[in-house]
Amino acid sequence: MALLEIKDLEVRYGRIKAVEEISVDVDASEIVVLIGANGAGKTTTMRAVSGLLAARTGSITFKGEDVTRLKGHQRVRKGISLVPEGRGIFPGMTVRENLDMGTYALQGKNPESEYDRVFELFPRLKEREKQMGGTMSGGEQQMLAIGRALMANPEVLLLDEPSMGLAPQFIRQIFAIIREINAQGTTVLLVEQNANQALAIADRACVLEAGRLTKTGTGRELLEDSTIRDVYLGG
């Protein structure tokens, strides 16, 4: 049984159907990548899985338990963590406080080891512990967002376009880190426009088109698929 099962998911904004009939299984310790054009419904899917949006129909099962009706904060406590599009840094809190927020769900304990792990992955954050989140540069904010999500020690980490707006150097770094996190045992569901690199690290990948899944396969399969190349990867 898969760790995270998304089944026949449909989400609407008002009358607008943003995604429908989405079914994805994510196995433990996998990296699964969602790709698709703008407005295909990737973010919507991620938000529905993390509980920020309500599924209209369909179900989301986590470790065999149906979490479809759970609120966002309850899902976090179960072990599903999202790094949202746009990072969602608390601008008026320091780096340290932002990281603290990551442990909010862990009833009271603030294990130092979690900080150590994050600081090890992102030494930059250690340097800037006292800086306000809002004044960090884009790349640093992205690190902070990922680090914060890791503080909760999630079983599944959802990443929505972590490379957006980052300089090329950083993008490579971010992908390396994703691989490392995954190697440490965290399951990753990743949304990326940077399809080439994303597919390169993906165990499996899905293509979303106009709110529907049109293709699934291993990362390599999709990389080699000629239509995918034409539409998403460029010549």
Partner 1 sequence: MNAEANLTEVAPEREIAVAEGDTLVKVKDLSVVFGGLTALDSVSFDIRRGEILGLIGPNGAGKTTCFNAMTGVYRPSQGSVTLEGNSLLGLKKHRITRLGLARTFQNIRLFGEMTALENVAVGLDARHKSGMISAMFRTPRHYREEKQIITRGMELLEFVGIADRAFDKSKDLPYGYQRRLEIARALATDPKLLCLDEPAAGFNPVEKEELMELIRTVRDEGYTVLIIEHDMKLVMGVTDRIVVLEFGKKIADAVPAAIREDPAVIAAYLGQEEPDGTA
Partner 2 sequence: MSSDWISFDFGALIDSFWATTFDGLTLGAIYALVALGYTLVYGVLNLINFAHSEVFIAGAFAVVFFLSALGFGPSAPTLPIGMLILDLVLAGIIAMVVSGGTAVLVERIAYKPLRNRGASRLAFLISAIGMSFVLQYIFYEWRGATAEPAVTMFRPKPIFEVFGSIIDSQQLTIFIAAVVMMVCVDQIVQRTKLGRGIRAVAQDPDTATLMGVNKERIIVATFAIGGFLAGAAALFYVMRVPSGVFYMGGFILGIKAFTAAVLGGIGNVRGALLGGLLVGLIGNYGATILGDSQWTDVVIFIVLILVLMIRPNGILGSNLGEARV
Partner 3 sequence: MSAHSPLSSVGAKQAEAYGKLGHQRPNWYLRMKSWWNDRSRWQQWLILLIVVVLAYLLPVINPPLITTEPSNDFAISCFNMALYGLVALGLNVVVGQAGLLDLGYIGFFAVGAYTASLWTSPDSPLVHIPYLWTLPLAMIVTVVFGIALGIPTLRLRGDYLAIVTLGFGEIIRLLATIVPVLKGNTGFQNVGRPPGEIDGAPIFSASNGLPWYWFTVTFIVIVMILLGNLERSRVGRAWFAIREDEDAAEIMGVPTFRFKLAAFGTGAALGGLSGALLAGQVGFVNNQKFDVPTSILFLAAVILGGQGNKLGVVIGGAIVAYVPLRFTALGGWKFLIFGIVLVLLMIFRSQGLFGKKPKLLTYTARIRRKVKKEGPPGDDEGTPPKTAPRRGGAA
Ligand X SMILES: Nc1ncnc2c1ncn2[C@@H]1O[C@H](COP(=O)(O)OP(=O)(O)OP(=O)(O)O)[C@@H](O)[C@H]1O
For partner 1, give the closer residue by CB, 114 or 225.
Answer: 225
By CB under 8 A, residue 193 contacts partner 1: yes
Of the ranges 22-30, 49-57, 63-71, 137-145, which one interacts with partner 1 (CB under 8 A)? 137-145
Decide which of partner 1, partner 3, partner 2, none touches 35; Cβ closer than 5 to 8 Å per partner kind.
Answer: partner 1
- Name every residue whose Cβ is closer than 8 Å to that of residue 136 and which is 6 or more positions away in sequence: 89, 95, 128, 144
Beta partners for residue 134, in sequence order: none
The 3-state DSSP class for residue 36 equals strand
Among 25, 56, 90, 212, binds partner 2 (CB under 8 A): 90
CB 83 within 8 A of CB 158: yes
Where do contacts with partner 3 occur on this chain (CB under 8 A)?
13-16, 36-40, 43, 84-88, 164, 209-210, 231
For partner 1, give the closer residue by CB, 156 or 228.
Answer: 228
**CA 167 to CA 159: how far, in whole Å?**
18
By CB under 8 A, residue 14 contacts partner 1: no
CB of 233 to partner 1, least distance (A): 6
By CB under 8 A, residue 70 contacts partner 2: no
For partner 3, give the closer residue by CB, 167 or 176.
Answer: 167
Mode of pairing for the β-strands spanning 57-62 and 4-13: antiparallel
Using CB atoms, what's the residue nearest to Mg ion?
43
Gyration radius of the chain's alpha carbons: 17
For ligand X, give the closer residue by CB, 42 or 204.
Answer: 42
**CA 13 to CA 185: how far, in whole Å?**
35
For ligand X, give the closer residue by CB, 15 or 109.
Answer: 15
Q: Fill in the amino acid letter for 142.
A: Q
| Residue tagged 């090329």 (tokens) | 168
Among 22, 40, 43, 128, binds Mg ion (CB under 5 A): 43
Q: How far is CA 115 from CA 3, 36, 152, in A?
A: 26, 34, 10
